[in-house]
Structure formats: structure tokens, C-alpha cells
Structure 1
Amino acid sequence: MGRWVAMSEGGGSDFSGYLCVPPSGRGPGLLLIQEIWGVNAHIRAMADAYAAEGFVVLAPDVFWRQQARIDLTYDDAGIELAYKHYNALDMYQACDDLGRAVEYLKGCEFVEGRLGVLGYCLGGTLAYSLAANEHLSAGVSYYGSGIGGMLNKTPRMAFPFLFHFAGDDHLIAMEEVTRLKPLLSATGDATFRIYEGQRHGFNCVERNSYSMKAALLAKADTLRFLAQHLVR
């Protein structure tokens, strides 16, 4: 369903994203932000799935400045490379790149209506980094373990945000989530979903932490939330 599109200034191919257009040919825009494994088969499948629901989905290549279009698996070798790229990532530069991706999606010929952002893991943190972007109307973050470090960048959210957290997440413990909830709520319209007994990455079918029940419940809430704020 998807294809790679260039987003670099002047039409260069360095900064690109995986673009999926729904069967109808038009729809609300959704920026879908990757985990640390790149815009891999799982993220492309997520983009395809949300496009099948009617969204125009763009999954930007966050690691393009290090290596274009990395596509890693969830085995030991993939984990090692994923963390190598993550540790080398300039988060502020990545946020600027994502702002450009929002602009691209805003001007996309297939987009009709509002724009939203959805991110997983690293993407969950980066999705929240866009919470003050005036072009967006809804945001969804799955287990964004770095959200606390982004609070000073976002004194006020410009649109409603839905946060999914896993009860047994080794990267962001419930004590941290409990601390963050009132701080996030103080910046805007924040909704929280906690999945007791679930681990980080419960949404990814290719990971050992996958939970079909939690993933389906989270997606149902996500679709309801996006329908409320993006679909007219």
C-alpha cells in the first residue's frame, strides 16, 4: 500500500518517509513515528493498517542522518544496531526534522482535513515533542520513556493527547508514570491508559512482550480518540 517519498528541500532523497494512502484516495493525515528499529517491516505494517482505516499515513525516517531507511529486526543483532543508532541520535535535530515532516504531510495532495501524530517507543517520546505544533489536532504516544525529558520543551500542549503506558515497563516504571501524569495534565488535555501486567513494546507482534489483548484494546482506544479529534 505504501511507497517512499522524499521530504528533503529541493526534492533530495536523503530525508524520506513511508507514505500510505487509504483506498478512498484521501483522508486525515497521520504522522506515524518509528521505534528504534527504524521504519522496519513492523512500522510499515502499522502504517498500512492505519491507512486501511482511512488515514493518509506518513512514517518519517528518523535515523536518516546516520543511515537512510534502516530496517532492523528484533533479534540480538538488530537490538545492538538499534541502540547504536538511538544513542547517536540528536533529539533536537530529530524534532526539527519531524516538524518538516508535519509540513510535508500538511501539504500532501491526498490529505483532507486535520492532522495527528502517533508514535511508539522512541516515537512515543518524539510524538510528544510535537505537542505544541499548531498544525496538529491530536496525538497518541505508546510507552514514550523519554517524555519526562521533553516537558520543558512543551509548556503547553496545543491539542489533546492520549498516552498508553505498560504496567511493567522496564524503561518507564509506574512510579515515573505516576509522577508525570499530573505534570502532563497541567500542560493540556491529557488522557492516560495503563495496561497492568504488560511490558514495554506490547503493541508489536514481533516482540516477546507482545500482548494481543493489550494491543487490541490500545488500538481501539486510539482509533476512537483519532476519530473524535481528526475525523469531521
Structure 2
Amino acid sequence: MPARTETVTVADGSFAMPLWLPAGGTGPGILLIQEIYGVGPYIMAVAEDLAGMGYAVGAPDMFWRIRPGWVGEHTERGTRESIELASRFDGRAGVADLGAALDHLKGLPEVTGGVGALGFCFGGSMAYLLAAERDDLAACVSFYGSQVPGALDLAPRIGCPIQFHFGGSDPYIPREQVAAVERAVAGMPNAEIHVQEEAGHAFHNRKSAMFHQPEAADRAWRLTEGFLARHLPA
């Protein structure tokens, strides 16, 4: 469970950001960006994993303008409802909200050292867009962000180390789109990309029988741990 919930204030309101702390009480920060299902059991489990690795983790409520506190079920109905919410999401405002959440996280007394971003699905896209906007991220990890292939013109603007993960059999992100990302980042010394060829979408989500593929998830998470250890050591 989170240590507490922070409130992030922006010009037109405020939103919640649950915070998880490492056992030692302080550590580098990670902004953990939700899927379309909200800050639910899966994102909470990932936050606990990261806190166990020594990070202070903030997971902002990205849908606060539409439905604050949304947690969608990993069912066909829950997926439809979550997709409908995401269709009404204001991406420009969302990147600004993430910037405010990043500033808030950086300012907490428990956050020492740098701050990175890590996102899944919807959050993988948002982490990528944030990295293109901010030059103060120490590292960024983007898991199967569906908006990434259509926004590759932003890639040269990313200055921090960035790691991409995709499934090679993702029905939502066709393999040819993943290949376009591979080509775009091939010449970027700060970027790496990993494709689990047999994996579909959201393969890391161990809280969802619909999506979870344990072997691919384990491989990708080991790569994530190594990447964070190199660029944002706890």
C-alpha cells in the first residue's frame, strides 16, 4: 500500500498522486504512469516492486479531469469503459499534468538523486511524450506505448536514456509499426528497444489473465531493472 497520497496542484485544479517509499525512507524518484485502467492493483503492484528496489514512486491519477480515482477491471466491459475514458483524454493537458507531478515528486524530501519515468500502455505513450518535453529526466522506460510509432518525430528531442518495450504479436501495435520505432531509434545512442516477439499487448500485467505472459514479462522486467540500475541507481 502507498505510504501516503500527495496532492498535485495545477492551474485548473488538483489531482492525487499515491506515493510509495523504499524501506530506507529515501531514494531516487520514479514517476509511474498508469494504463487506461487507472492506478489499480497492477500499477500498485509495480509501485511496490520499484519501492522494493529502492525508489520513491509516485503514480499520478491521469484521468482526474474525466473520472477521478478511476480503476477499470481487466474484463471486456472494463476494457471498453477504459478505452472510452481514454478517448476523452486531453493529451496536451496530460503532459502538462505529468510535468507538474514530476516537479512535485522532485520536491519531496524523501526523493534524493534523480527522477525517472516509467509507463505502461497509455502510460508508455505518456512517458515518451514527457521525455520529449523535459530535459531533467534521468531515465525513461516506455512499455508498449501505442502513440509512439505515430510520434517518432519527437524522438530526437529526447535527451535522457530511454528504453522501449514492445510485443511482436501485439494486435494493437502492428509489428510493422514496432519496426518503424526500431529504425527510428537505431541511431540514437541514448535509446534501446526490446521486442518480445511472441508477446501481445500488456504482456507484463500480472494482474490480468487477459494479457499476462509470464516469460516475456520476466525478460522485459529484468531488462528494466538493469536499465534503471545503470541510469538511475538506487
TM-score normalised by length of structure 1: 0.94
Shift of residue 182 of structure 1? 2.3
Q: Which residue of 2 aligns with 1:228?
A: 230
Alpha-carbon RMSD: 1.6
Q: Which residue of 2 aligns with 1:219?
A: 221
Matched residue SS, 2:103? helix
Q: Which residue of 2 aligns with 1:28?
A: 28
Q: Distance in 1 between matches of 2:216 and 2:129?
A: 25
- In structure 1, what residue type is equivalent to 2:211? S
Shift of residue 229 of structure 1? 0.3
Q: Which residue of 2 aligns with 1:111?
A: 111
- Structure 1's 131 and 184: CA in aligned 2 closer, same or farther, altered over 3 A? farther
Q: Which residue of 2 aligns with 1:135?
A: 136
Matched residue SS, 1:4? strand
Moved over 2 A (4+): 148-155, 184-188
Alignment of 1:175-214 (within 5 A): 175-186=176-187, 189-207=190-208, 208-214=210-216
Q: Which residue of 2 aligns with 1:96?
A: 96
Q: What are the ranges of 5 or more consecutive residues in structure 1 without an aligned counterpart? A: none
Deviations 1:10-36 (A, max 9, x none): 9x6x31111101110000100110000
Q: Which residue of 2 aligns with 1:170?
A: 171
Q: Which residue of 2 aligns with 1:82?
A: 82
* Equivalent pair of 2:32/2:57 in contact (CA under 8 Å): yes
- In structure 1, what residue type is equivalent to 2:116? G
Report which stretch shifted further, 201-210 or 35-44. Answer: 201-210
- In structure 1, what residue type is equivalent to 2:217? A
Q: Which residue of 1 aligns with 2:145?
A: 144
Shift of residue 6 of structure 1? 0.4
TM-score normalised by length of structure 2: 0.93
Report which stretch shifted further, 141-150 or 56-65. Answer: 141-150
Q: Which residue of 1 aligns with 2:66?
A: 66
Matched residue SS, 1:68? coil
Q: Distance in 2 between matches of 1:126 and 1:185?
A: 21
Shift of residue 154 of structure 1? 4.7
Matched residue SS, 1:22? coil
Q: Distance in 2 between matches of 1:81 and 1:40?
A: 14
Q: What are the ranges of 5 or more consecutive residues in structure 2 without an aligned counterpart? A: none
Alignment of 1:28-47 (within 5 A): 28-47=28-47
Q: Distance in 2 between matches of 1:161 and 1:33?
A: 15
Shift of residue 188 of structure 1? 5.3
